[in-house]
Structure 1
């Protein structure tokens, strides 16, 4: 038995807020788990501190599956982003401990490597098409094999995915939610020219991706997907809200552009119909918001039966702890597709020293035991929590809309 003797939550904000769980064992081994829920961080911190940690003390850290079931079934009120992010933090930390106890990187405990590395995509953005293409060329020069394209929309003051910094984008930008304006009509006119310019500048050997961010109806998404078909996008992401999973059936009827969705999903039930009916090509559920490595492996196994590959969310609201977990997971599964990679700032990397690395468009989690990430608690304490909300969106007539 590897007895859990303590656990605590560390909240730090080296440029953005992160919630980290640290579990300690009687043998002196410790494990880290990410519990960050962008814009609702303290809700998960409280859930862990007040409701989960007391239930962990005295349990066997090796019994990962049993503890996962205890926290999921035992709470009665199942699922939801707060609960599943808290479970994910515990799960990651326990896998980290198990890897350290075995003296092996986590991916070896998950069956070993299925590939040499995980292909990742970077984020190219700009206020104009020209700026976006210039940024994309920089990513190509750095060896990226896949690039997400987001550009400003003529007539709109701001657009999702377009930041003031070439490489670092943090949408949670204000003490109270920023309100932005949206026009579907203007947007739909702007995306095909972006992809036409990208193919002319980047050629056909680079994968091109785009994030709609849940802003279209199914028929509008079908129209955009068809308009982009000549440019062979790798995927169109989050084309429409997926609460009604049947929405994607209508999109499928109108375009062969590959579809990706799921960064806001919390469990396999959120994507059951999407996967069973093969309404998507990539599932984007993430290790921190979908119950940790244990549950994400179930989702991936289910997806594999239906020719759906993974394309896990990897924005900066995942701490380096989650990024490491995602890479160990992605390296091991047979139906890995691609991994999103938004680089953290130097401040974040200093707080979370890590073993993972990037080269030639691929990332590897490294060979350090467990997850391969540490937490400099003294440095973390120098960056106190600062409330930050994600924006909200309104149509030009003032109607609140999907951000």
Structure 2
């Protein structure tokens, strides 16, 4: 089962996606997600110029060997661009292998460990009443766990707050990367005040718990904006509201910083959506400084790379919480769902519904029922790319925002 050719497809049905399509000599096609929000063309060039030329003639069935060949053989290892390119190849090869076997991918990963993957949605509002309405809407859509984000009094645009209410299918206008119709758009600059945020957030969770009771799993994303001692304070202040997790409380580069947070709060911690290999987690896992790993299949070396990470985390009793916003394409989402169903140490899956235009380009078969996601029993990943539809949505340059403190200092976004 030799690889005959591979090509990249860049499309922008509401936001930019990069997809690798690999075809074997006997006509089996596999897809891999290579999207890196705000740096899409860097990954596309890496694939087109450096990786795709290495694939022709390789045995598509030798997935682990190809993974090691591209990881170790490049010499320059890790990094988001390299690992997203590797992820696309790896995921496409798993798609091919499962299609050749006539099975959904999760069967090749050991079979189902559960009926479906518990998913959480993104409830948000500019103020508390708008947030409570958003939570109600998510519960009506079938979610059984909800992430809570609100505006902060005195600040303008705040990360995680959707710019509009949900449409009839439960999709929100939430795309932080600003796109330009003609030429590059400069990043939008937002303003941040951590002290105002720390005063506000506990009152938000008090209101949500008062309205919806103690049973609903609630999550919150700090988006790397706190120092370790600030994160420790917030974790402690949120303990009465029994969070499922506090995510990305502090920048992840300094793994030892999580020691201080862990010492001061029992609120469960999740981190890792900006990580791209198992090596980024070594201290966090071996010292049990977190409870959930937040990496995405798309950015962590594909199904093979993510499985290595989750198996390592399982040794220390740490669970999965894979990244799944709308800048992970339906191909990347499907890959995550097959792992969610198969691995023993599953925790929860982030799930934001893609736009109607995106679902026209990527024909999906995964389903969401009673708060659970299932990848379907379609052979392979269960996602097909409509190239004619993809051509109708050309790439448009976009940047994620830049964050500044009230005095103008650049801060973490």
- Cα deviations by residue, 1:253-303 (Å, 9 ceiling, x for unpaired): 110000000001010110110010000000001100000000100110110
Q: CA deviation at 1:311?
A: 0.3
Query: For 2:71, what is the secondary structure of its paired residue?
Result: helix
Partner of 1:267: 277
**Are 1:168 and 1:343, in contact at CA under 8 Å, matched by a contact in 2?**
no
Distance across 2 between alignment mates of 1:205 and 1:355: 31
1:389 to 384, 399, 412: 399
Distance across 1 between alignment mates of 2:141 and 2:406: 39
TM-score by length of 1: 0.99
Query: For 1:312, what is the secondary structure of its paired residue?
Result: coil
Query: For 1:162, what is the secondary structure of its paired residue?
Result: coil
Q: What 5-or-longer segments of structure 2 have no aligned partner?
A: 166-171, 180-184
1:299 aligns with 2:298: no
Partner of 2:178: 173
Partner of 2:77: 78
Query: For 1:353, what is the secondary structure of its paired residue?
Result: strand
Distance across 1 between alignment mates of 2:106 and 2:2: 23
Considering only aligned residues, what root-mean-square deviation do their CA atoms show, in Å? 0.6
Partner of 2:228: 218
Q: CA deviation at 1:343?
A: 0.7
Question: What aligned pairs does 1:277-288 form with structure 2 within 5 A after superposition?
Answer: 277-288=287-298
1:19 aligns with 2:18: yes
TM-score by length of 2: 0.97
Partner of 1:350: 360
Partner of 1:49: 48
Q: CA deviation at 1:158?
A: 1.2
1:194 aligns with 2:210: no
Q: CA deviation at 1:242?
A: 1.1
Q: CA deviation at 1:141?
A: 2.0
Partner of 1:251: 261
Distance across 2 between alignment mates of 1:134 and 1:200: 14
Q: What 5-or-longer segments of structure 1 have no aligned partner?
A: none
- Cα deviations by residue, 1:322-358 (Å, 9 ceiling, x for unpaired): 0000000110000000000011000001100111010
Corresponding pairs, count: 402
Deviates more, 1:200-209 or 1:151-160: 200-209
Partner of 1:205: 215
Partner of 1:8: 7
Query: For 2:200, what is the secondary structure of its paired residue?
Result: helix
**Are 1:85 and 1:291, in contact at CA under 8 Å, matched by a contact in 2?**
yes
**Ranges of 4+ aligned residues in structure 1 off by more than 6 Å:** none
Q: CA deviation at 1:123?
A: 0.3
Distance across 2 between alignment mates of 1:171 and 1:95: 31
1:241 aligns with 2:254: no
Distance across 2 between alignment mates of 1:33 and 1:192: 40
Q: CA deviation at 1:135?
A: 0.4
